Structures are given as structure tokens and as C-alpha cells.
Amino acid sequence: MRQRSIIAITAALAAGSLTLTACGSRDDDGKSSSGDKTTVVIGVDAPLTGDLSALGLGIKNSADLAAKTANKKEYVKGVEFKIEALDDQAQPSVGQQNAQKFISDKEVLGVVGPLNSSVSQQMQKPFSDAGLTQVSPANTGTELTQGDGWKTGNSVRPFKTFFRTATTDEIQGAFAAEYLFSKAGKKKVYLIDDQKTYGAGLAASFKANFTKLGGQIVGTDHVNPDDRDFNAVVAKIKKTGADALYYGGEYPAAAPLSQQLKDSGQNIPLMGGDGIYSGEFPKLNKKAEGDLATSVGKPVEDLPSAKEFIANYKTAGYKDAYEAYGGLTYDATWAVIEAVKLAVEGNDGKVPAEGRKAVLDAMAKVKFDGVTGTISFDEFGDTTNHMMTAYKVTGGAWTPEYSAAPNVS
Amino acid sequence: MHELPQQLANGLILGAMYGLIAIGYTMVYGIVQLINFAHGEIFMVGGFGALTVWLILPGGFALGAAIPLMILGGVVVSVAVATAAERFAYRPLRTAPRLAPLITAIGLSIVLQQAVWMWYPDAKKDRPFPQFDGGPIDVLGANIQRGDLFVLIAAPLCMVALGFFVTKTRSGRGMQATAQDPDTAKLMGINTDRIIVMAFAIGAAFAAIAAVAYGLKNGQVGFRMGFLMGLKAFTAAVLGGIGNIYGAMLGGLVLGVAESLATGYIGDIPGMDLFGGGAWKDVWAFALLILVLLFRPQGLLGERVADRA
């Protein structure tokens, strides 16, 4: 009897924990097709829980908005778009499982996501094998589209199914270096990254371009992205006399890092990439004033093309903000919708039997005016829109300072 | 080398926090030989308990005045969760093989994380925690933040109170007796069930105080914060000699200082610049743990004597 109750309780707890975990990744609506319309599912993969969920939920909602808008406008005749969002928890292994789920669902003709370059690395190969188109709104890791040879000028596209509406870290790092050196007048920079694909790539590009301009990297360090105590590193920065800190990483660690930096009496700005360009950063960091970030595209709020997106997002009543990648996600999702439209038009108004192949073939021809500008893809699957913006925390919120499209040779 | 006082201070602050959490591991292990892997999550819910008190207090309430209430809130939540866990998750398994409660503890830690994630408003991302205004205070060449003073005062006070409790009170002596031999203690008329609940509760209260310190220090609490801190505290408990309450605090301090110094200096040693820095500090912390266990398998203060509780 006693043995039995032990087993029962253990089983109940195990089952309970499994159910709770599963809850996070399930979506509510389960209908497949309505009337005579064909359902086309667009998969969305993003971190919907955890540290980066603010960015992830913005991605999910923006993709949802794009699908709903296409349905409302009947943008592709006879096709009803549906979003299937999976949570990757910012974990590469979970992302790979999600990729398999999308591949096995025959209604999925394209996938939008993920947020993290390290997650994308694990998803590219399965998608490529399955011929399923993936469009990331946020991955900036240069090697994702150009292979590891990009640093030496030997760019080779590793996976023909991968596209992105975000520009690369090569461009982002170069832009940050240019801004910090020329516009902000900082000459001695301490460099820290979190050793993830995104952070390390960004730091590498920043370092190369900053030293090329004549700036000095006075020290480098790496931190663990789960840490929240950086006082030991901060004490090291102090003795180098750096006049700025560049951080390759994301806001959950960048916020306490910046705060501890200023608490130690060093009144120098922390600069980062789009990973810290989140409304959460100044909320978590009381001393964020003056900190800098770069992000892809022009500020969504300033673009006439984005007015409709912002208004529609508000009307749709999403609980979470669209965050840094809202506009790019909308465009990424719209690129898939556009490709489906081209595929359907090339097949007498019906979704082709080989839907995935037709969508992939159509991606090269996609060109439209999106929220963030004109969207089309080059021979690597990279966006042809290289516009970048530098932001500064002023009055507790990010405000745009300077926009440009850096030239990369 | 002029940042040495700063690095030592950073290490001591971090270490005091590890030590406060480690006491919960050590007391529970000392009495029921259970490694309560859900203890990191008990720390985490304490942080959310304290945050809740701050959020329901009227605006304009001074943080200094709110802190006792926040500690109270955190302690109430942590102790409630820990005693409920003891009653419903561990007590039914007390006679089962050791592995069963360990697995339950891991399951429980996932349940607690997910419960906060699901039901605490806006807890899907890190929540800002209130912080003291004003700059740092200079102590012997080291900058100490106002928020960090909290743990520097709380940790020794907690240790003194616990030491008094274990050696001077009836319940404390009952605790020592139960740790030595639960069956004989029971025969001597000690209510061992009550003692075990007490060990869980004291450990949880200390974890909640550590959670307030964590919030004040880092300015945020999040549903995943218990994992890494719990792991470090467990390491501290083993380092100090698991089962020994002073060992837990000492292990925490040693671990904190070791991490701080490793970050600060290992990269400066010629030929070691690849292995220095913030990302390697955990490697050095665990290397230290292995080294200590090689030469002193029972941990720094671990001894099979009567004073373990």
C-alpha cells in the first residue's frame, strides 16, 4: 500500500511537471480548413518563455498580425493563412525539435523565426533537407547565410532554404564601431561578449572595424549569459580607463552589467546590438541613461510605411509590445505570404502539390514594400535593406540618434 | 593590484548570498540525508514573495521601511512552499530508496518554476526589483553598494541567531539529536517530524533573505534565477562540508571570493589569458571544489561529530 502511494505521488508529480511544460508550447485554435479555402500554415519559432520572451512574444504577435491581415484582405485567393507558434525557450536543442515538428506537418509551407542565431544554426540543416523555407526576422549571425568563410571574403551560402529580413552582424558591428568612434568620439573601448553565436559574432565584427578606424580595444572578457553579478569584471574594466564598454549579447545580462558598471563609479556608456534594444533594458537598469544600441532598419515609428502596422497592432489588442523585431517579423511573414501568392498564381490559382518547393522557388522573386522598407533577398538570402539605426537611452526610453546604411566591402 | 580590495568585497558579498542559501541544503541533508534540489526554487519564490509585498505597498513608501515587510513576505512564501513540499513531496518518500526523493526534488523544482511562470503576473520575463538610491560607500578602498550592505549585515546576524538556536534551545538540541540518530531521538521523546519540518522552514527563511539580497543587488528577479544560484549554493554546501551549518557559510564565502579572484586575475597570469575572465569563473570554482574534495573528502568543516545539524 505504502509503495503504491509513493509511486502514485511520484507519477503525479512527474505528470504534473510534464503537463505544465507542455502548456507553454500549445496554441489554442485547432481548426484546419474553413469552407473551400486551402489552409497554409506558417510556422513561428521564437522564445515565448524565459528571459527573451518579451522579444519572442512580439515576434509571435507580429507574425499573427501579418497572417490575419492577409486573410482579411484575401491577399491570396483561396488560401487561408494560419500561424502555428512553437516555443524554443532560446535553446538550440528545443529549436531543432520544433523544426522537426514543422517539417512533419505537411500544411506548413514556411517558417518565420527564430530569434537567436544559435537556435537557427540547429534548424537550418533539417529545413534544408526538407526543402522548407525559413525566414528569420532577427538572426544577425553572418555565417548563417555566408558560411564561416565570410571573414576572409569566401562567402558561400550554406543552406538555400534560409532567408532573413534582419541584416548581418558584420554590418551591425561595423555600424556600431563607426558610430562609437566618429559620432560619439570614443577611442578606448572594453569589449565583452556572452560567447553565444550572436554575441561573439557581433563583438568580433565590432573589434575588427573599431581597430581599423584607429580605435583601441583596451581589454576583452567573456561572461556567462545566465549570470547577474558582473562586479568582478567591472572592477577589471576600471583599471583599463576605458571610455566605453561594448557588449555583444542580450538585455537580461546587459542590464545588470550596465548598472554595476555605473555603480562602480565609471560613468561610461554601455553599447550593444539589437539584442539589448528592448524596452525591458531601461526597465531593468536604473542607470541605463546614456547607454547605446544599434538595431536593424530605421525606427519603425518613424517610417511612413509602418504607420499602418502600428495602428493595426494596436487595434488587434495584443497584450505584449511588438518590440524590436515586430516590423521585421511582419515583413518576414509577409515575404512567405508573397511567395505563396506567387506559387499559387503560377499554378492556376491553386496551392501547388509540391507547395514547399514552389514557395522556396518563389522566394528569390519576392519583392515588396514592407514595414521596414523594400524587402527582397540577395544571392545569400540576406535582405537587400542594410539600413541601421543607433539608439540612446534618454529619459528612460530608447530614442533614435542616427540612421545610415553602412557600406560593406 | 589596486582593485584587490574591490574584488575581495565583491566575492564576500556574493559568497554571503551563496552561504545563506547553502544553509538550507546543509540542514536538510544533515537531518534527513536528502539533497533538496528544489531549494533553489524555494529561494526564487521568496524573491517573488518579497516583490509582491513591495508591489502592494502604497506608492512613495520608503524602501528602507519596506524591507522588513518584504523580508517577512518572502519568508512567509518560502517557508509555506518548503513545508508543503516536505509534507506532500518528501515525507511520503522518507522510507523509500534515496534516489526517489531526489527525483521528486528535481520534478518539484520544475513544477515551481513553471507555476511562477504561469501564474505570477508578468513573470515570463525578469521583473524589476526596487533598489536603494544613492551612490556606493567606500570601505577600505572598496566600493560597497547600498543594496549590498543588506547581505553583509544579514548574513552574520542570521549565523549568530542560528548558532544560538541550535545550541541553546530545546528545539535546537532536538535537532542535533535527530541529526545524530533519528530513531534513538524518537525513542527519547523527540518529535522528529516536527524537527524535520523546522529544518526545512529555517533553510527556507534563510533562502528568502538571500533572495531579498539578490533582488536588491541585481535589481531584478526572474523565475529562472533559482537554478544557477541553487547549484552554486549546493556547491558551497559540499565545499564547506555538507551537514555543517558553519561550513555552508564558509563554503559560500570561499566560493564567492574564488570566483571573484579568478575573474580578476587568472587572465593576468602569463599564458593563462585564454582561461581568465568572467566566463571561466565557474570552471575555476568547480576546479577548487574538486581540489578540496580530493584532499578533504568531507569538505572544509565536515566532520562526523555531534555539532552537525
Q: What is the pLDDT of residues B164-213, one digit of tens each?
A: 999 999 999 999 999 888 899 999 999 999 999 999 999 999 999 999 99
Strand partners, B288: none
In which region does residue A373 sit, left (phi positive, over 0), alpha (psi from -120 to 50) or beta (all else)? left
Q: Which A-chain residues 252-281 have CB contacts (< 8 A) with chain B?
A: 252, 255-256, 259, 263-265, 280
Q: How confident is the model at residue B136 (pLDDT cuts 50, 70, 90)?
A: confident
Cβ contact, residue pair A17, B282, below 8 Å: no
* pLDDT value at residue A285: 92
Q: How confident is the model at residue B126 (pLDDT cuts 50, 70, 90)?
A: confident
Q: Which A-chain residues 68-97 have CB contacts (< 8 A) with chain B?
A: none
Q: Same structural domain for residues A42 and A157? A: yes
Select from B13, B107, B261 the Cβ nearest to the Cβ of A13: B107
Which residues in chain B are contacts of A9 at CB distance < 8 A? 88-89, 92-93, 104
Cβ contact, residue pair A238, B3, below 8 Å: yes
Instruction: Give how many domains chain A has, as a whole number.
Output: 2
* pLDDT value at residue A35: 57
A136-158 pLDDT tens trace = 999 988 889 999 888 777 889 99
CATH number where A220 lies: 3.40.50.2300
Which residues in chain B are contacts of A192 at CB distance < 8 A? 278
Examine the predicted complex and report whether its ipTM is higher than 0.85: no
Cβ contact, residue pair A232, B218, below 8 Å: no
The Cα–Cα gap between B218 and B232 comes to: 17
* pLDDT value at residue A407: 65
Which residues in chain B are contacts of A254 at CB distance < 8 A? none
Q: Which residue of B has its CA nearest to A196?
A: B279
Cβ contact, residue pair A280, B125, below 8 Å: yes
* pLDDT value at residue B71: 97
Residue A409 included in any domain: no
The Cα–Cα gap between A66 and A30 comes to: 19
Residue A370 included in any domain: yes
Q: How confident is the model at residue A408 (pLDDT cuts 50, 70, 90)?
A: low
Q: Which domain holds residue A147?
A: 11-167+302-375
For residues A49 and A357, the model is more confident at A357
* pLDDT value at residue A8: 52
A211 has a pLDDT exceeding 90 = yes
Residue A151 included in any domain: yes
Asked if omega into B101 is within 30° of 0 (cis), the reply is no
Q: Same structural domain for residues A230 and A91? A: no
3-state helix, strand, coil in chain A (%, to 5): 45, 20, 35
Which residues in chain A are contacts of B282 at CB distance < 8 A? 224
- The model carries a pTM of 0.79
Contact A142, A117 (CB under 8 A): no
Which residues in chain B are contacts of A288 at CB distance < 8 A? none
A1 has a pLDDT exceeding 60 = no
Cβ neighbours, 10 Å, residue A35 = 6
Average pLDDT, chain A: 88
B240-263 pLDDT tens trace = 998 889 999 999 999 999 999 988
The Cα–Cα gap between B29 and B47 comes to: 23
Q: Same structural domain for residues A66 and A92? A: yes
Q: Same structural domain for residues A219 and A176? A: yes
A316-330 pLDDT tens trace = 999 999 988 999 999
Residue A284 included in any domain: yes
List the strands of the sheet with A108-112, edge to edge: A79-87, A38-46, A108-112, A133-136, A162-164
The separation between CA A88 and the C-alpha centre of its own chain, rounded to angstroms, equals 12
Q: Same structural domain for residues A114 and A186? A: no
A301 has a pLDDT exceeding 80 = no
The Cα–Cα gap between A182 and A390 comes to: 13
Select from B222, B260, B277 the Cβ nearest to the Cβ of A222: B277
